[in-house]
Amino acid sequence: MNTGRFFRLTKKAIAFVLAAGLVAGCNEKTTGVEPVKFVDMEKLLVDSGLAEQEAAHLRLVNERLQQGAELAGKQYSTMDEEKVNLARQADGQILQFQWQAEQQNARKAVLAAVTEAAMSWQDEHGAVAILPRQAALTVAKDADITDEILVKLKNHNVKFNSLPEVAIKSEEQNTPVTSH
């Protein structure tokens, strides 16, 4: 027998055995393992109101950061042109970094609420895992628990971090001026 042909046949046989094992292992009824469930994250965030809560919090954060930018702008009138340009760039970067951090923190707070609800459902009903529906190509109707998680999130108020405090040091006083 040709060695190359032998290796090709061996590879095909191994692939067949692995595929058969995977298919046989996927039958949850014979393994006794609870199934994987899925949640449509987009629908969940919108229908639960969590997306709107996040957006409302971020509007308040943006207002606070805009107040900080205005406060910083008042300081520019006492600076020479070169310092004004440097100060604007530095202030813009700081405010942009703060905005990005606030967006991330708000999303983490929303996802923590979803995770808490999903873990509660998992404790009550059992499942190996609960995954975003967007991670699957297809999902059986009985594997989608979005509506059940929505019930758990009804009237849930997300606890966001407090609004940021923006402090500007004046050159003359070297003391911070704060926006609230």
Cα Rg of the chain (Å, integer): 27
Question: Which of these, 77, 67, 75, 73, lies nearest to 98 by C-alpha position?
Answer: 67
- Residue percentage of the chain with pLDDT more than 90: 57
pLDDT at 57 over 70: yes
Cα atoms in the 13 Å half-sphere on the side-chain side of 174: 0
Check residues 97 and 29 and name the one with the higher pLDDT: 97
Check residues 5 and 80 and name the one with the higher pLDDT: 80
Q: Which residue has the tokens 């971020």?
A: 58
Task: Indicate the pTM of the whole model.
Answer: 0.72
Average pLDDT over the chain, rounded to whole?
82
Over the stretch 149-174, which tens digit does the pLDDT of each residue have? Answer: 999 999 999 999 999 988 776 555 44
CB under 8 Å to 41, separation ≥6 — which residues? 114, 132, 133, 134
The mean pLDDT of 116-133, rounded to a whole number, is 94
Over the stretch 23-49, which tens digit does the pLDDT of each residue have? Answer: 445 544 445 667 999 999 999 999 999
